[in-house]
Amino acid sequence: MIDLIIVEQLASIGTAVGTILLVFMFWKTIQQLEETVKLSRLQTVHRFRPWVGPLNSIELMSTSQERQQFSITLKNYGEIPASNVMAMFIMKNEMMDRNALKNSNGADSFNLGPLLPNMEKRYWFFIDSDLIKKANDGNAQIFILLYFAYEHQGGKSGYGMISHFDTKINGFVHNDMWVD
């Protein structure tokens, strides 16, 4: 009889220890599932969204007596479409910062429409030939800010760049680039 009581008490103690271990394992499993949910949210926000940016540098397209036409090709590197892609352009004779679009009412803007995954579109802008000639003579500097804003299911994003006209290469060199 005494042996049966000891076995019953040992079984109760074993059951209690097993229950505590089981609760601890459930708690660790729930923590792991919480981390998996956090990573899934990050992946959804960053991976499953459009990534619109330049495919190449700014290129000279054509020259006339009055103005020169430049072009930049945009591409959606993401896995979902970008809707309502808006191109904005500002040109000044001095260096600008990223906030120049917020502080300027003189930005030229153009709606490029939607941009599907792996789709490319070109944006053109024009600069007076006299200003290019002044820059080549060393009498002026040309700085441009290009910003491409786009919408997607997760909200709004954008890509911006500030470039200056380099007379040595007769083209634009990027000073600053960023993603919003």
- pLDDT digits 0-9 by tens, 137-150: 888 899 999 999 99
- Whether 22 has a pLDDT exceeding 90, the answer reads yes
Q: Which residues contact 54 (CB under 8 A, 6 or more apart)?
A: 72, 73, 74, 75, 159, 161
**Predicted local distance difference test score (pLDDT) of residue 104:** 65
Detail the DSSP E strand segments found in the chain. 52-54, 59-63, 67-76, 82-92, 108-115, 120-128, 143-152, 155-166, 171-179
As a whole number of angstroms, the distance between CA 179 and CA 81 comes to 17
- Whether 43 has a pLDDT exceeding 80, the answer reads no
- Whether 92 has a pLDDT exceeding 70, the answer reads yes
**Predicted local distance difference test score (pLDDT) of residue 56:** 86
